[in-house]
Amino acid sequence: MSLVHSSNALQADPAEAAACLADAASSVSSAPTLALRGERTVVLDLRHAGRRELTLRYEVQGAAHLPALFVCGGISATRHVAASEAFPEPGWWTEQVGPGRALDPACCRIVSFDWLGADGTLDAPLDPADQADAIALLLTALGIERIAAFVGCSYGAMVGLQFAALHGERVDRLVAISGFHRAHPYASAWRALQRRAVELGALQCGEAHGLGLARQFAILSYRTPDEFDARFPPARVVDGRVRVGAEDYLDHCAARFIGRSSPTAYLRLSESIDLQSVDPAAVRVPTTVVAIEEDRLVPLADAFALVERLAGESHLRVLRSPYGHDAFLKEDADIAAILHAALQSPIRNAC
């Protein structure tokens, strides 16, 4: 095992990141990227809820002959990672996926899916290992025997570790960003309060309000005090009450989230994070672990513990960011440089 750690951060050299992106851009084909969506019905033995018939909804970008990557994000991320000609709406990771970007559909076949439980119809405990098993079934259904890499962020990184532990023969390498082998008790406490907000809203016949409040609590756990200090003004009196500087932003976050997730989906996927438990020694594939020093949900100490116990070749990259847990969505150049370094072959060779 080798440990590569930058003491403060992999403060990615802007020139290096720009060179990586320019190199990828020079190889982009002018032909439209092949993209398709579909569904597969599977039967899966869930660890806490027995055998279920489930529908897996997936999206693929890139030609079938290219190296396959499975890409997934947090519990609110969907199968739509980035825009394509067929599906032009913005995806959840547009900054990293697309022509000339770190994950280029001209160089690799990008596969993703909607999480089990994301549609709100599965009201049962979901283990992250269940998600990993579902991904294995989906890959089989798509005729993909082995993927060149699993790239996961947040909950997706947790599932990636499960996939590498349970189905290691089907993946060449893993990139786990801001998600590790366990759920930290402090982070679990945050999520437990969020779930209580959802349940309280339902009891008061205000499901949308409860879900919005839970999202606002979540945003506070994702970001950092430093960001809020730099971004928001002091409190002021409005219509006879005190309104703090961040309230408008938090209201905006809640309004955007309501309607995109059902209370049942939110509760079950939030619970699933807290069920994360994987033995790092069971992960034998080469793994790049990415941690954010300011992340209050996924502490840096857990990143060190994970990397020290992984059975395969491992590398740790540490970033510093005022965006905390959300850095994988915000620190575009640094994340791109890490992805290029972790996936430089065979992905780059396919271009």
105: nearest Cα among 62, 150, 148: 62
CA proximity to 220, closest of 247, 201, 242, 199? 247
∠ CA 135-141-146, nearest 5°, is: 60
Q: Would you give the end-to-end CA distance of the chain in angstroms?
A: 30
Respond yes or no: is residue 154 known to be catalytic.
yes
Tell me if residue 340 is catalytic: no
Let me know if 48 is a catalytic residue. no
Peptide bond just before 346 cis, omega within 30 deg: yes
Nearest to 73 by CA among 186, 208, 195, 222: 222
In which region does residue 224 sit, left (phi positive, over 0), alpha (psi from -120 to 50) or beta (all else)? beta
Task: Please name the residues in contact with 253: beta carbons below 8 A apart, sequence gap of 6 or more.
Answer: 215, 216, 219
Q: Which of 302, 325, 334, 340 is catalytic?
A: 325
**Which of 127, 130, 274, 295 is flagged as catalytic?**
295
- Among 112, 154, 221, 261, the active-site one is 154
Q: What is the largest CA-CA distance in the chain?
A: 64
- Which residues are designated catalytic? 154, 295, 325
